[in-house]
Amino acid sequence: MTYSVSDIRKDFPLLDRPFHEKPLYYLDSAVSGQMPSSVSERMRQYEMYEHTNVHRGVSTLSQQATDHFEKARDTVARFLKASSSKEIIWTRGTTEAINLVAQTWGRQNIQAGDTICLTEMEHHANIVPWQMLSQSVGAHLAVIPVSDRGELRLDELSKVLSPKTKVLALTHVSNVLGTINPIKKIITEAKKQIPSLMVLVDGAQAVAHLPVDVQDLGADFYTFSGHKLSGPTGIGVLYGRKALLDAMPPWHGGGNMILSVTWDRTTYIEAPGKFEAGTPPIAAAIGLGEAIEYLSKFNPQDVHAHEQHLLRRASEGLKKIPGLRILGESSDKVSVISFVVDGVHPHDLGTLLDHEGIVIRAGHHCAQPLMDRFQVPATTRASIAYYNNESDVDALIQATQKSVEMFHG
């Protein structure tokens, strides 16, 4: 289909709503991508006409709901190019997916004295679970540093890794800097040094901008959240290689994940079911499947070219503002811009932009170690999606210029 932003925007009613008696300029898709109407309508159809539980009973309604639910899993497996839908586990989001791996695979395989390798650009969701695990078992954290341009210092990779390193957990795309990490190259080099190394990739910020092939990347685990991908909140995905999932113990116990239960012992079904105790987020999973189907209508090259055009336009305009500095100037980045302005706190700037109808995020973005690396308390972040247009970025530039002039008199 021809890529027409004006046509695409018709699928997003929020983009036309008034905001503070002004037009709404939504530039916060790194927090949550907007859902097209087709996703909301598909979830509403399930809730109104198909609602029941899955994997339970012999009723036709339950069987149909199960079919829709598992079809969504198949859709995710194709989206990630996994070898089987049995490698796709539903979670509440990226955070829960990483915790699942840390508390199952991690507790099975990490011992006192071992090392867990992270990077300086990680989101708290890919720091805290590993920190908790390392503190409980006596392991250590090692960190790959970030350059002034906002790129990983891969020349330090071989020094940071050691024979004691059991895990490399890293983000595919930085939620602050927009930097796209060369995941395939990193995994290849790391596993050449340590063949038994387990690699988990946080793909929360990547899936909305990049095609992902988990087999080609060589990732052992890959995670993302539905709401970053124009889907609903409350649903996430953990991809794991089948051999690893089969060897991991369940995390939660309850119904739907058992073969049999006696007072003496419980036996579990195979993955992915053994990791999905209780009633799953059925409507959200179906909604995520619909979101992926919606996005599959677009040519990824067209989306990339459009987002990169807006990224360049926004970056060039913002750089003309005196005292403004962009963090993260990698030549390979997605359409995310984090910036600071001399003498202006990001929270104050964010408040003024809000009054101008500009929806952005101001704060540390759950990446405080990265803020410390760049010696800033927070940044203002604008994140651009496939449904944004030139008016959105021009409004950002003009409102930022106006706000900075107000602060500097």
SS (H, E, C) 73-89: HHHHHHHHCCCCHHHEE
Question: Is residue 79 a contact partner of residue 208, using CB atoms and an 8 Å limit?
Answer: no
pLDDT for residue 370 is more than 70: yes
pLDDT for residue 267 is more than 90: yes
Q: Identity (one letter) of the amino acid at 318?
A: L
Q: What is the mean pLDDT of the chain?
A: 96
Show the CA angle centred on residue 39, arms to residues 365 and 229, nearest 5°. 30
pLDDT for residue 192 is more than 80: yes
Percentage of the chain beyond pLDDT 70 is: 100
Can you give the pTM of this predicted structure? 0.96
Q: What is the CA radius of gyration of the chain?
A: 22
Residue tagged active-site, from 366, 368, 369, 394: 366
Q: What are phi and psi of 355, to 5 degrees?
A: -70, -20
Helix 282-295 / helix 60-80 crossing angle, nearest 10 deg = 40
CA distances from 175 to 100, 315, 323 (A): 21, 17, 23
Q: What is the pLDDT of residues 231-253, one digit of tens each?
A: 999 999 999 999 999 999 999 99
| End-to-end CA gap in the chain | 49
| Model pLDDT, residue 158 | 95
pLDDT for residue 52 is more than 90: yes
> Residues of 84-103 as b/e, b for ≥16 C-beta within 10 angstroms?
ebbbbbbbbbbbbbbbbbbb
pLDDT for residue 99 is more than 80: yes
Peptide bond into 300 cis (omega under 30): no
**How would DSSP label each residue in 231-245?**
S-SS-EEEEE-HHHH
List the beta bridge partners of residue 115. 140, 165
| Model pLDDT, residue 57 | 72
Distance CA 28, CA 360 (A): 5
Say which residue the tokens 């695990």 belong to.
Answer: 133
DSSP-assigned letter for residue 16: G
Q: Identity (one letter) of the amino acid at 165?
A: T
Distance CA 182, CA 219 (A): 12
Residue 64: name the closest of 76, 77, 51, 74 by CA.
Answer: 51
In this prediction, residues 355-375 reach a mean pLDDT of 97
Q: What is the pLDDT of residues 121-162, one digit of tens each?
A: 999 999 999 999 999 999 999 999 999 999 999 999 999 999
Question: Which residues, in sequence order, are CB contacts of 197 under 8 Å at separation 6+?
Answer: 161, 165, 166, 167, 168, 190, 191
Give the containing element (helix H, strand E) for 42: helix 37-45
In this prediction, residues 188-216 reach a mean pLDDT of 98
Percentage of the chain beyond pLDDT 90 is: 96
| Model pLDDT, residue 1 | 59
| Model pLDDT, residue 338 | 98
| Model pLDDT, residue 409 | 67
| Model pLDDT, residue 250 | 94
Taken in order of first residue, the domains within the chain and their CATH numbers are 5-30+298-408 (3.90.1150.10), 41-295 (3.40.640.10)
Beta-strand pair 358-359/25-26: parallel
CB atoms within 10 A of CB 14: 12
Distance CA 43, CA 50 (A): 10
Q: Is 366 one of the annotated active-site residues of the chain?
A: yes
Q: Identity (one letter) of the amino acid at 370?
A: L
Q: What is the pLDDT of residues 5-34, one digit of tens each?
A: 999 999 999 999 989 889 999 999 999 999
Q: What is the pLDDT of residues 329-347, one digit of tens each?
A: 999 999 999 999 999 999 9
pLDDT for residue 82 is more than 90: yes
pLDDT for residue 408 is more than 90: no
Lowest mean pLDDT among 15-24, 125-134, 170-179, 183-192: 15-24
